[in-house]
């Protein structure tokens, strides 16, 4: 697939077909993504591929914690403690667009809860990826891992697969590390749902807006 076309068509997919993704496909994705750049070639990323019974067990424990009121605690702070413009409005628009597409009203807290809980099941995709980095690394490695994660998503596009990056899974890093016995000395950055898109699912029909290049770019000649 053309890279520019893949970048334009990539979206967060939130409903997947009940169709298996092979280990070979996952390895192909990660084999391509490993060529992502990193500062002095540190390659600070690690990946856990969770499928089958392991996925069911993990997501069941995480969703149960979420529904019990346990908000979890990430290894790092993702969002600001206080939202300022224009980010506050963009965040609000993103949530309202999804809920309006699904016909979930502001006062329907139960449906909102159910929709958010789907994050912790990786939207029932057949594959959940979990991305880690060594805890001894510093801020630059977050950028490195971000490029690796984006490369993974673009590689998936080339294979006809679709993805959804899931920062929400990092909320329950303590459950993930205990359940998988993996990454105890690492930072859980995020998860990712991987599978074949259900193109008939309403939740996959909307797209978030993007700013024009002129709004965030300055040329100095």
HSE-CB for 104 with a 13 A CA cutoff: 18
189 to 18, 106, 124, 166, 197: CA distances (angstroms): 27, 30, 20, 9, 24
In this prediction, residue 216 has a pLDDT band, given cuts at 50, 70 and 90, of very high
- Expressed in angstroms, the distance from the first to the final Cα of the chain is 34
Q: What is the pLDDT of residue 161?
A: 98
In the block, which residue shows the tokens 């300055």?
218
Domain residue extents for the chain: 3-210
Per-residue pLDDT, 127:
98
Predicted confidence (pLDDT) at residue 107 exceeds the cutoff of 90: no
pTM of the model: 0.96
CA angle 195, 198, 202 (to 5 degrees): 135
pLDDT reading at 1 higher than 80: no
| Dist CA 176 CA 54 (whole Å) | 11
Predicted local confidence at residue 11, as pLDDT = 96
Instruction: Write down the architecture of domain 3-210 according to CATH.
Output: 3-Layer(aba) Sandwich (3.40)
**How confident is residue 106, by pLDDT bands cut at 50, 70 and 90?**
confident
Mean pLDDT, rounded, for 215-220: 97
Note the pLDDT tens digit of each residue in 134-192. 999 999 999 999 999 999 999 999 999 999 999 999 999 999 999 999 999 999 999 99
């Amino acid at each position: 697939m053309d890279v520019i076309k893949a970048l334009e068509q990539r979206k967060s997919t939130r409903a997947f077909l009940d169709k298996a993704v092979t280990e070979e496909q996952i390895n192909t994705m990660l084999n391509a993504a490993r060529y992502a750049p990193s500062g002095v070639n540190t390659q600070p990323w690690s990946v856990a591929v969770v499928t089958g019974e392991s996925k069911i067990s993990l997501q069941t424990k995480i969703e149960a914690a979420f529904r019990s009121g346990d908000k979890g605690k990430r290894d790092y702070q993702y969002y600001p403690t206080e939202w300022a413009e224009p980010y506050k409005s963009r965040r609000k628009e993103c949530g309202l667009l999804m809920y309006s597409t699904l016909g979930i009203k502001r006062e329907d807290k139960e449906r909102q809860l159910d929709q958010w809980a789907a994050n912790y099941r990786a939207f029932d995709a057949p594959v959940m990826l979990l991305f880690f980095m060594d805890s001894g690394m510093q801020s630059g490695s977050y950028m490195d891992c971000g490029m690796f994660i984006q490369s993974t998503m673009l590689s998936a596009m080339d294979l006809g697969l679709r993805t959804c990056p899931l920062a929400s899974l990092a909320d329950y890093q303590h459950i993930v590390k205990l359940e998988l016995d993996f990454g105890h000395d690492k930072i859980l950055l995020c998860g990712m749902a991987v599978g074949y898109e259900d193109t008939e699912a309403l939740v996959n029909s909307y797209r978030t807006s993007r700013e024009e290049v002129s709004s965030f770019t300055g040329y100095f000649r």
